[in-house]
Amino acid sequence: MMLSKMITGILNIVELKEITAKRFDLLEKKKVLPLPKTLIHNIRSTDLEKFLKGPAVESLKENGLLIIQLDKLLSSDTLLNVCSELGTPIAENPTDEVLVPYIEKEVILNVISNNTNGNSASQPFTKRHLNLHTECSRRKVVDQPRYLAFMCCDEGELSSAQTVLVPMKEVFDKLSEKDKKILKNVRYSSDLQTPPFLRTDRENRNIFSIRDFYPDPMYWSFDDENHAYTAADIHESIKILLSHMYSVENTSGITWKNGMLVIVDNTIFFHGKSASDQIDIEKTRHLKRLRIK
Ligand SMILES: [Fe+2]
C-alpha cells in the first residue's frame, strides 16, 4: 500500500494578476450588480415568526437565500429569537478587541461600515471592498455557520456598496475533474482539521470553504494519496477556483434598504462586499449580523 504524501506550499495571491483584475472588476469598480433573482417578501414585523414557520424556510434550504422587507426594525431580542428558529447562533469572539464594542447579546455583531483604513482587523467594518469568502473557513465544519442573517438598521449613503453573492454551484460546474479532485484534498496548512476547499456533504451537496486572503498569501497543505501532483498543479487549481469565483454569470448584489432582513446559506453562496463609492462621507451603513449553525 502506498502511503499518502502531504505536500505544503504558499500561494502568493498578489502575484495572480488575472485574479487581481477580476477582483477589481467585481468589487472595486463601483458598479451596481443586479439583485438576486429571488422574490422579496414584504412582511410585517409582527407576522415574521409565523412567516418563517411557513414554506419560506423550505425555499431558503433550496435556494440558499431569503430576502424580507420588514415594515419595522426588529428589536435585538426579537431578531435573536427569529434567528434561533433556524439553528444555534454562534458567539462572536469576546476576546477580539476590535469586535467587542460592536457585539451585542454575545451573538449579534453590529456591522457599522465606518472604517477607511483598510487594516485586516477592522475588516467587517470597512467602507472598502471585502474579498469573496465563505464565513469561518478556518474553522472545522461543525463550527462553521450554515446561515448568515443580516438586518439593515441604516442603509447609510446611497452608494454602490453591495453585499455580493456568488452561487457555489456555478463555480463548481466550471471546474474540471482534475481541479475538483485537487480541491477536495487541499486545505489551509495552519489547521489540518479545517475542511478541504471543496467537499461533498451527506446530502451530496458540493460545498466550498475558502477565503480569498489577498493581499496575504495562502498557506496550504495537500494530501496526495497517489503522489500524482506537484505544487504547481495545486496552485493552478486554486487559481482557477478564484478566477471562477470572481467571474461566474449569476453573481448578484444586495443593495440595502432600511428594514431589510436577508438570510444567506453559507454552503450555497460565497459572499463579499463591493466598495462604497462615497468613502469619505460620514453617513455609515449599519447591519446587524448573526451567524447560525
Ligand atoms: Fe463574511
Write the DSSP string, 141-183: GGGS-SEEEEEEEE--SSSS--EEEEEHHHHHHHS-HHHHHHH
Tell me which CATH code domain 5-292 carries: 3.60.130.10
Q: For position 116, what pLDDT does the model report?
A: 62
Whole-number Å distance, alpha carbon 164 to ligand 1 midpoint, is: 10
Q: For position 175, what pLDDT does the model report?
A: 98
Whole-number Å distance, alpha carbon 134 to ligand 1 midpoint, is: 6
Q: For position 30, what pLDDT does the model report?
A: 83
Q: Compute, in degrees rounded to 10, the torsion defined by CA atoms 70, 62, 272, 261.
A: 10
Whole-number Å distance, alpha carbon 230 to ligand 1 midpoint, is: 31
Outline where the chain has alpha helix (H). 17-23, 48-52, 56-63, 76-84, 168-174, 177-183, 231-245
Whole-number Å distance, alpha carbon 122 to ligand 1 midpoint, is: 13
Whole-number Å distance, alpha carbon 78 to ligand 1 midpoint, is: 22
Q: For position 122, what pLDDT does the model report?
A: 59
Q: In whole angstroms, what is the distance from residue 272 CA to residue 131 CA?
A: 5
Whole-number Å distance, alpha carbon 53 to ligand 1 midpoint, is: 26
Whole-number Å distance, alpha carbon 189 to ligand 1 midpoint, is: 21
Q: For position 2, what pLDDT does the model report?
A: 59
pLDDT in tens, the chain (293 residues): 556 688 999 999 999 999 999 999 999 988 889 999 988 999 999 999 899 888 888 889 999 999 999 999 999 999 999 999 999 999 999 999 888 999 999 999 999 877 665 555 556 677 788 999 999 999 999 999 999 999 999 988 666 689 999 999 999 999 999 999 999 999 999 777 999 999 999 999 999 999 999 999 999 999 877 778 999 999 999 999 999 999 999 999 999 999 999 999 999 999 999 987 765 556 788 999 999 99
Whole-number Å distance, alpha carbon 226 to ligand 1 midpoint, is: 35
Amino acid at 204: N
Whole-number Å distance, alpha carbon 271 to ligand 1 midpoint, is: 6
Whole-number Å distance, alpha carbon 246 to ligand 1 midpoint, is: 16
Cell of 261: 432582513
Whole-number Å distance, alpha carbon 118 to ligand 1 midpoint, is: 16
Q: For position 235, what pLDDT does the model report?
A: 97
User: Going by C-beta distance under 8 Å and a sequence separation of 6 or more, which residues neighbour residue 244?
Assistant: 170, 171, 174, 175
Whole-number Å distance, alpha carbon 229 to ligand 1 midpoint, is: 32
Query: Nearest 5°: CA angle at 149, between 148 and 150?
Result: 120
Q: For position 115, what pLDDT does the model report?
A: 67
Whole-number Å distance, alpha carbon 272 to ligand 1 midpoint, is: 6
Q: For position 54, what pLDDT does the model report?
A: 86
Whether the bond into 34 is cis, omega within 30 of 0: no
Whole-number Å distance, alpha carbon 90 to ligand 1 midpoint, is: 13
Whole-number Å distance, alpha carbon 133 to ligand 1 midpoint, is: 7
> Counting beta carbons within 10 angstroms of the beta carbon of residue 82, is it exposed (0 to 12), middle (13 to 18) or buried (19 or more)?
buried
